[in-house]
Chain A
Amino acid sequence: MDSARRLGPAQIGVLAQLGVSTVLLGGIYALIAVGLTLIFGIMRVVNFAHGEFLMLGMYLAFWAFSAYAVDPYVVLFVSIPIFFGVGLVTYALVMRGVIHASHNVQIFTTVGLSTALQNVALVLWTGDFRIVRPWHSSVVIRFADTAFNLSQVVAFLIAVALTVALFAFMKWTHTGRVMRATAQDGDAATLMGIDTDRVYRLTFAIGIAAVGAAGVLVAPLYAVYPTAGLQFVLLAYVVVVLGGLGDMVGAMLGSLIVAAVEVIGSYLFGVAWKEVLYFVLFIAVLAFRPAGLFGQRGAETLGA
């Protein structure tokens, strides 16, 4: 980010700073993207409203901080159950009816949800840019030749902890296995007595809880406004497509790649042009390896 440029001439220091910045940013992007890829992998739905739940998480952190002076890291504990509930309700009201519909119906359902949520936020909280500034956002940590903002480091640590917890859940719990089985073959899972509707409901709620938590975590780092979700979700699409839609490990690697492009790109070309870099990367990947850098070829044309 910006801090990279302010460092002295020592090239090693710059590289170290860029490297650590990449990892810190990548960890946060991973938490945003992992919910998106989980929902796609199991439900085969691209949630175009994913960014709006991130935005709602940021607003939750903002209001808790400005109205009750509650630190975002405390809000996090409340946010996870709240957004899990929001996910359940959204699934019941909106997603459930279109889970077996065509791609186009699903696209427009989540696009409609995105438009509605963005503008509910606009009506309720206006379009002003809001900023959350807890004490830790102005603390700088220096380590060797590098310097970091404490909020960024803590956000990274929590994001990694949550992502690892989600991985462990998917890998080792019975419910996680059931979810993976549904992802592999929904019909076969139904035949084995798995209630796929329950799996979808749970998947959607977990995905939304993850992105809501990510919203709370990034609130001290970025301004909050009704369309704040858009920039993050565009980035999350890039991450998820790079890693292969539905591939959770791919999403982590994709996060690091996108973070590296962003950090190194803004160092070399300036912050203004970094987004062009990752969108060009995105279009190139879609054109040449649409199943993702690590994905199976041909996965992108599957109808189901």
Chain B
Amino acid sequence: MAAALRGRAGALAFFAVAAAVPLAVRDQFFLDTLILILLWGALSAAWNVAGGYAGQVSLGHSAFFGIGAYSAALLSARYGQSPWIGMLIGMVLSVGAGLIIGYLSNRLRGPYFALSTIAFSQVLLIVASRWRGFTAGSEGIPVPFRPGFATLGLGHVAWAYLALALAALFYGIQVYLERSRVGYQLAGVREDEDAAEALGIPSRRLKVIAVTASAALTSVCGTLWAQYVGFVDPFYVFSVDLSIRFALNAIIGGLGTALGPWLGSILITALETYLRATFSGMKTGFAGIYLVIYGVALILVVRFVPEGLAGVAARLRARWTRAHA
């Protein structure tokens, strides 16, 4: 236990603060920001399982997000079923979709894999926005609000703890990937697939598993996000921009690190909230300004700080320990 916690003081502090905030703060704006930080971080953590740990960089993860969002929204809006059932169905569908994408990942490396994932999410976008009879097409679906835990009609504080539980679970999954045999094998595949294969690591199977697991986790977040926000718009949930955002948080926070997704999420969500407050008068320009900053930040981070915030923090800690040793 002690060994598992070593070097994780930052994560413990983060989760402790996240757990304390809803006790002290009742302001809906702050709680909303906290929930979004936790959810966006969890999404990036889900992406990180494939993109960071297995090195399968997807630019179409919004496909799984959308599957999760639609499964629960359609089930609760059309059949009055609990979104928890929708979450399970979304996971099953995403596992199916993840197996297809995972199979592709066996044959394709680098940009080819990214391209195929974009194409996949675009197919789902077109189906969701054109199949009017079932998905309500481009109008989107409002998610009915029914109070209660079974129907996910929760207040802000309950949502904050649900998002925190999700974040803690996903953090744990990533820590497992860092410390387990499977995790080391995945790192081997990521760094040099041919060498890993030569050592007898079943690289193909591992990549499929990583992509499929990542898909299922993304789908869970999609369900929760749709229930929290209360509306599913096909052009948002299946967009390339959304897929990029999952990757962005993970990269800025530190690709393939367990806390990185939330570090990135804090920075990006805070930036977005700040800019929203500052430029709220400019209706059309606003969205653009922070996305320009995202784009430029992405270029600068991959070039100059490829290890992300988590890497910078580790370097600073190492320097501090040396200075005080």
Chain A residues with CB under 8 A of B299: 94, 108-109, 112-113, 116
Are B302 and A112 interface neighbours, CB within 8 A?
yes
**Could you mark each residue 81-102 of chain A with 1 if its beta carbon is under 8 Å from any beta carbon of chain B, else 0?**
0000000000000100110010
Which 8 residue pairs across A and B have the least CB separation, nearest first? A116-B295, A112-B298, A103-B110, A115-B295, A122-B288, A123-B288, A46-B111, A119-B291
Interface stretch of the complex, out of B19-27, B116-124, B309-317 = B116-124
* A interface residues with partner B (beta carbon < 8 Å): 46, 48, 94, 97-98, 101, 103-109, 111-123, 126-127, 226, 230, 234, 237-238, 241, 245, 272-273, 275-276, 279-280, 282-283, 286-287, 290, 300-301, 303
Is B107 an interface residue when CB atoms closer than 8 A count as contact? Answer: yes
By the criterion CB–CB under 8 Å, are B112 and A286 in contact? yes
Q: How far is the CA of A233 from the CA of B209 in the complex (A)?
A: 30
Number of interface residues of B (CB under 8 A): 44
B28 CB to nearest chain A CB (Å) = 29
Which residue of B108, B114, B285, B298 contacts A115 across the interface (Cβ within 8 Å)? B298
Q: Given contacts A107-B57, A123-B285, A241-B115, could you give 20 more A-B pairs where the C-beta distance is less than 8 Å?
A: A106-B111, A107-B110, A108-B247, A108-B298, A111-B244, A112-B295, A112-B296, A112-B297, A112-B299, A113-B299, A118-B295, A119-B289, A122-B285, A126-B284, A237-B118, A279-B122, A282-B119, A283-B119, A286-B119, A300-B109
A120:B306 contact, CB within 8 angstroms? no
Q: Is the interface of B mostly helix, strand, loop or mixed?
A: helix
Q: How far is the CA of A123 from the CA of B292 in the complex (A)?
A: 9
Which B residues have a C-beta under 8 Å from some C-beta of A? 55, 57, 59, 103-104, 107-112, 114-116, 118-120, 122-123, 126-127, 130, 240-241, 244, 247, 251, 255, 284-285, 287-289, 291-292, 294-299, 302-303, 306
List the B side residues contacting A105 at CB < 8 Å: 302-303, 306
Cβ 8 A contact of B107, one of A106, A107, A276, A287: A287
Closest to A110 in B: B299
How far, in whole Å, are A106 and B299 apart by their CA atoms in the complex?
A: 9
Distance of A109 Cα from B251 Cα, bound (Å): 12
| In the complex with contacts A105-B303, A114-B295, A234-B122, A286-B115 CB distance below 8 A | yes
A-B contact pairs, 15 of them (CB 8 A): A109-B302, A111-B247, A112-B299, A115-B244, A116-B296, A117-B295, A119-B289, A119-B292, A226-B288, A237-B118, A272-B126, A275-B126, A276-B127, A280-B123, A283-B123
